[in-house]
Amino acid sequence: MAASSLSLVHPSPMMAVVGLQFCTPCVMALTFSKKAFSFSGGDFIISDAKGTVLMKVQGHVLSFSPCRVLCDAAGTPIISMRIKPFSLHQRWNVYRGDWKDQRNLIFTVKEICMLQRKTELNVFLARNTTEQHCDFKVKGSSFEKSWTLYLGNSNTIIARASRQSGIRSVFLGKDIFSVTVYPNVNYAFVVAIIVILDEIMGKNDPAQLSFS
């Protein structure tokens, strides 16, 4: 797709999704550092461009099904991400805080395509009960190690992510990922999408150099 056919979004009012406190009027550059060794797996530290820790992702070690909790820097839960068991394609439900009841459901992420290193996920807000059209879409490639988050089925980009490779990640024993969140887009929402993408790709092909 030609670059000229793509556009960036500046939603007005801000794209709250999780909460207005996680929206800013300017571009946000985030760095994900994934721990190489973790009892629960999938633990991340999310920092801004200055290196300030904004959020942490933790897993539930004794959970019946995979669960990830996004917390603020102080450790207070913001949202929880839980896989839906017994689904044909991987499906994750995201809730407020550390809850798991329907009243606190914010959005759902559904795996659409994971063939030939191509990735496609659909995201449905809780109010979109029919799911005839997605509210957001993720497209990317584990081969190219880059992913893009779009507004619905449009060409409007709201965030990009890529895996960094180099001496730092090798010697520190961490996977390092760069994420760009565009103005007025909820960065806690974007963080949750990337964490779920990591889980889905890791389960489908653990050998891939991707978010796994």
Contact present, 202 and 211 (Cβ < 8 Å): yes
Contact present, 150 and 158 (Cβ < 8 Å): yes
Q: What is the pLDDT of residues 171-189, one digit of tens each?
A: 444 667 899 999 999 999 9
Structural domains in the chain, sorted by start: 3-204 (2.40.160.200)
Q: What is the pLDDT of residues 70-105, one digit of tens each?
A: 999 999 999 999 988 766 678 999 999 988 888 999
**pLDDT above 50 for 129:** yes
